[in-house]
Structure 1
Amino acid sequence: METGKSGFQHQPAKIAMIVGAWLSFIVMVTFNALSASGASKGLFNSTQGELSDKYYNDLVPAGWTFSIWGFIYAWTALWLLYITTTIFRKTSEGYVYIVSDLLPWYFFVAWYINNACNVAWLFVFDREQLVLSACVLAIIPFSLYLCLFASYRQVDKRGVWLTENASVDLWCTRAFVHNGLAIYATWTTIATLLNFGIALIYTGGFDNTDVVTGLLAVLLVEVLGWYVLENFVLDRYCRYNLIIWVVVIVALTGSLVEHWGPEKRNSIFTAILIGLTAFLYLIRLCLVVYRHFNKPLYKKFVLPTTEQGKNNGTFNMA
């Protein structure tokens, strides 16, 4: 360990993991930019836009929807900046990144895997290996689920301490880390469905309309399943993850706008799914507001007054 001027000790290994998180992210964004722009034809055979046009299906959303990647990159940069600040900030017990311990080592391992798979997918899809590209892409959201699990677990373990000593860091973790990872995980979950749909249509020879109906059915099951989990099973971990539903609505709206036809069953299915998702999101917002004020996750420990202690038996020694 390295001792700073304050007498507190740094952990070089953990600092190296944060630096590695930045480097892997920068490499991933660079390769995505090269793939999207077509600036490196020697590296990639086609742009992502050209491949999307070639492997068209009735669920792929309108082009403007993909601007969500800008939000994903920006939000990722925000949470990386936030965790970088914890290296330099201190509490009375030590440096924030050490005493709060919100991001364990396996969080960073999952993050490195995520970025590596993102880059690998660009090359596999560029070579038009559709089944393999779908499998590689599926690893991306699952690695993000692991990142979220790691941070959720640590925040829950340290929740009372954070509430009493570092409430700003608690809320920054929720706003930047949790929601930043959630927007990325949700979008890549939907992208994985799209990629498997492409593989089924263009490699498996299945009907476009039937495949899209199946994908929408899978998405419906995921939406309903996640709604139950986040509100009634995992509330203490992910109560303040609110961006997920917005991503689903945006993706489905982009698909509906691109493929709308009042006589198409998938257009009707998509419209119903948008309405259901918006309705569930509204209920969730109400639940979160109610629980925030009436059922807080963590409470500051307050010693009772002498009179309170007498009344509730806290000070009874017999």
Structure 2
Amino acid sequence: METNTKKYPFAFKITVVTSFVVMVAVNAFANILPFNGISTGEVSDSYPNLFAPAGITFSIWGVIYLLLALYSLYQFGIFQKKAVLDTPLYNKTGTFFVISSIANAAWIFAWHYKALALSLVLMLIILVSLASINTILIKADLTVKDKIFIKLPFSIYFGWITVATIANVTAFLVDIGWERFGLSEIFWTIAIILTGLLIGGFTAYINRDIPYALVLIWAYAGIIIKHVSDTGFNLSYPSVIITVTVAITLFIVDIVYIIIKMRKI
């Protein structure tokens, strides 16, 4: 990534870090207190559906927060020799990151107080912000360190939010009592899984983004765990399990194809 003689504004760096800290703090206190007397996971459980993954799947947030913390520190010149960075690139990614962080913190309140329509709008804001960041990074000339401390955090975050958006839509439909046009819940769950496969697989391929695809595999593996677990659905929906297994297989094929394409470049 080519550097600029004009320094990335220090005040904006602080804004980026502050928005990150606020996001993490709100998410933490939402479960410590908890907000509205209910944890984030318990809110999810109150909208039962066949797409929701096992609780262990959400541990990926620890990885996301760690990587975003490294991104926040990287802009100060940590992990590199100097803090003079590509101002246009950092202004654009930083702006969208601040927007996504504020929306993330606001989402927690909407979710805990079961304002599902508002939570969906906020989730879409996060999704669009991360999609915008990834579009910017794809077009940028990144160094190896840039790919580790900028591209990787947002690839993983974007991958998880892609699945989270689908889950949020599903919870919203449960909340409004959607009748699925008279079709079975199994049918619509399979349709949702395949929709995630198409969107995620296409996005990973177009962006040549292996970490993004790996996150989708992790999320879909969580769905399988929920369905085969004794504390979950206990193998009650074999067609859903088969569909998710096929989806994971195709994600792996997608990754292999991306690797082959990248080697030819």
Same fold? TM cut 0.5: yes
**RCO (CA 8 Å, sep 6+): is it higher in 1 or 2?**
2
- State the match for 2:199 in structure 1: 222
Q: What pairs with 1:84-99 in structure 2 (closer than 5 Å)?
A: 84-85=76-77, 89-90=81-82, 96-97=84-85
How far did 1:256 drift? 0.7
- State the match for 2:231 in structure 1: none
The TM-score with structure 2 as length reference comes to 0.86
Runs of 4+ residues deviating >3 angstroms: 8-11, 86-90
How far did 1:244 drift? 0.8
Q: Equivalent pairs: percent with the same residue?
A: 26
**SS of equivalent to 2:89:** coil
- State the match for 2:246 in structure 1: 272
- State the match for 1:284 in structure 2: 258
How large is the Cα RMSD of the aligned pairs? 2.4
Q: Is residue 196 from structure 1 mapped to residue 173 from structure 2 by the alignment?
A: no
What amino acid maps onto 1:151 in structure 2? L
- State the match for 1:60 in structure 2: 52
Q: Deviations over 1:135-172 (max 9, x none)?
A: 2111112101112223333x23xx6xxxxxxxxxx111
- State the match for 2:11 in structure 1: 16
Q: What pairs with 1:1-318 in structure 2 (closer than 5 Å)?
A: 11=7, 14-37=9-32, 39=33, 41=34, 43-85=35-77, 89-90=81-82, 96-97=84-85, 100-101=86-87, 103-153=89-139, 155-156=140-141, 170-206=143-179, 208-230=185-207, 239=208, 241-260=209-228, 261=235, 264-288=238-262, 290-291=263-264, 295=265
Contact 1:89–1:96, Cα closer than 8 Å, also in 2: no
What amino acid maps onto 1:257 in structure 2? I
Number of residue-to-residue matches in the alignment: 252
**SS of equivalent to 2:75:** helix
How far did 1:219 drift? 0.8
Unaligned runs of at least 5 residues, structure 1 = 1-7, 160-169, 231-238, 296-318
Contact 1:104–1:151, Cα closer than 8 Å, also in 2: no
In structure 1, distance between residues paired with 2:12 and 2:204: 33
In structure 1, distance between residues paired with 2:138 and 2:261: 19
The TM-score with structure 1 as length reference comes to 0.72
Indicate how the Cα distance of structure 1 residues 151 and 52 shifts in structure 2: closer, same or farther if over 3 A, else same. same
Q: Could you tell which deviates more after superposition, 220-229 or 55-64?
A: 220-229
Q: Looking at CA atoms only, which structure, 1 or 2, has the larger radius of gyration? A: 1
Unaligned runs of at least 5 residues, structure 2 = 229-234
What amino acid maps onto 2:257 in structure 1? I
How far did 1:104 drift? 3.9
